[in-house]
Structures are given as C-alpha cells and as structure tokens.
Structure 1
Amino acid sequence: MAASNSLSLSWSDVEVGVMHGLRDWTMASDELNRHLSTWMGLPVSDAEALGQIVWAAQSDSPLSPASLARQIGMTSGAVSVLIDRLERAGYVTRHREGDDRRRVIVRPTAAALAGTERFLDFAGAEIAAAVRETPDDELRVIHAFLRRMVHAAAAANTRLREEPVSTRIDT
C-alpha cells in the first residue's frame, strides 16, 4: 500500500470517469436494494441480507450466520435477530449441516426464491441485457478490474477493522 494521500495524486479523465461510474453503480444498486425491500415487505437491511442469502444459495455456496454478518457489516448478534425476522416472515430457514451438526447454514425458502425471482424478472431486464450485450473480451477485462477493486477494498476494510479507533482521529 502506498503511503501517499490518494486524493492528492493526479488522476486522468478516464480514471475519474471510472471512479464516478463505480460510485454511480453503487448508488443505483443501493436504490435497487431499497426497491427489493419494498417489494418483499422488509426493512432495507433484511432485504440486503435476503439478497445475499439467495445469491449464495443459487451459487451453491450457502452462508453461515457469521459469513452473512461479515458480508453485510453487522455483528453476529444483530444478524441473529435479523435471521429470526426473516424466518418469521417465511423467507429463510436455518439448517444444521456437517457430521457434528454444529455448522448452521441459512437457506432461502421457496417463497423467498419466488419473490426475488419475480423482482428480478420485473427489475433486472435492463441489467441482464447490458451484461449480455457486452462482448466477452470486454467482460473479461471488466471482470479482472472488478476483482482488483474488490481485493483493494477488502484490504482497506481489513486494515480499518484492525486499526484501533483511537489512532484514527486527531484530538
């Protein structure tokens, strides 16, 4: 990691445009999540968690409560309460898996899958078309770039989690 102030560096127009594009995508994605919360009748944090649970299950990599907590930036206790709400709403179930039955996995219910599928059918057409219409060679470059961005953000997040709060603020 460079020890310089990133904002004091000289940025090209393309670099600035990419950073603005990433910010714009993040904002648009956040708005879509708010619409999903309304669609599913859930608080925004619950809809975000449900989206992660559905995505993980469909990717055949279901989440434990601890993994979900890390992904959405909540404590394990807060995620436990959130999962309780999603269970009561009929959107998730907890399953004990593994030989020792200690590992708990959160899985979406059929109702959650049907609701999110209806949402994506209604709201995801333009996004799917944008991806499908992009040539494979461009997608490979974008994918590699996004992996680097995720890695960089994860490194920054790890550093921020590990640094004591008292060293962050000048008093």
Structure 2
Amino acid sequence: MNGNLGDGDLDEVSELLSRPRLRVVGLVIDKVDRIMHGMELGAAGMHNQVRQWARQGFMRDLLGLLQTQGFQVYLASDHGNIEARGVGRPAEGAVADLRGERVRVYSDPRLRAQIKERFPESLEWPSVGLPEDYLALIAPPRAAFVRAGETLVGHGGISVEELLVPFVQIDRRDR
C-alpha cells in the first residue's frame, strides 16, 4: 500500500477491504506523525494542523468504510508527544551513538558524564534491562537537545504524555 496513508485517497484501502477472505487489517496512518516532525509553531501549531487535516474528512471516511465492511475498529498510537524548549545541542559530534532531540545515547560513560555536566538538569538513565554500553542521557523535563530557546513538538523522552498511548474502540451509532 501507499506509504502516505492519510493524504486523502481511500481507493487502495477500499480495494484491500473488498477481498472476501480478509478478516483482519492493520492500517498505519502516519499523517499526524509527519505533521509533528515538521512542526515549527509548537503544540498550538500542531493542534491547528491536525484540526485542519481532520476537517478534510479522511479519518471519517476511513472509519465509515471499515464499519460498512463489517470491521470492528480500534484506534491506537505508537507514542505521544510534548512541546519542548531547546536547552542547547551537546557538541559531542559523531561520538554519540544516537543524537535525538529528547535523548542522547552514548557507549562511553565518561562522555555521557561530560555532557551531563553541561546539562545538569538532564537525567542519566540506568542501563537496567539495556546493554551495558547503552548509556542514555535524557533531556530535562519539557526540554530538548536543540538550539537554546527553539520550540519543537517531539517524542522519545519519559514524560507521561510521551509514554501513554490511546487504545480506543470505535463503534458506529445510528441516530
């Protein structure tokens, strides 16, 4: 299927759902995630764009199509997100194994400790359940490792909003 499900065309989904032996289907609609990753206007801008996308009717039409075809419909997400303010970029170059906005990962404990000194509010995550050389440094609450003062909407940290995800059953009500 098309990798950009959520941009309006349901023909491919409709064709898929018309297969008589099809009993279960999982669809990934990545539109909200793509909106989030391109967001420059913080949470308010993201909410505005998601609202505009919702008014275009794609989700309404998709849910109607699924229910018309007799599917029981559940809606879930892979993660949440938060608005975060930049506290500066660690200048460790390519030495970090993962240079995320909300988390940096190091294999050298001394390097992680050096970066922690520059960002004292950050959290050195223990390696319990992780490889010993997977040393995460988590940005301070509501902050990100991006240019100081920059606002973004992101995920990858440990805030409740990033960890809890919805799982909703959607039923059709005939009025």
Normalising by the smaller structure, the TM-score range is under 0.3
TM-score under structure 1 length normalisation: 0.24
Structure having the higher helix fraction is: 1
TM-score under structure 2 length normalisation: 0.24
Structure having the higher strand fraction is: 2
Higher relative contact order (CA 8 A, sep 6+): 2
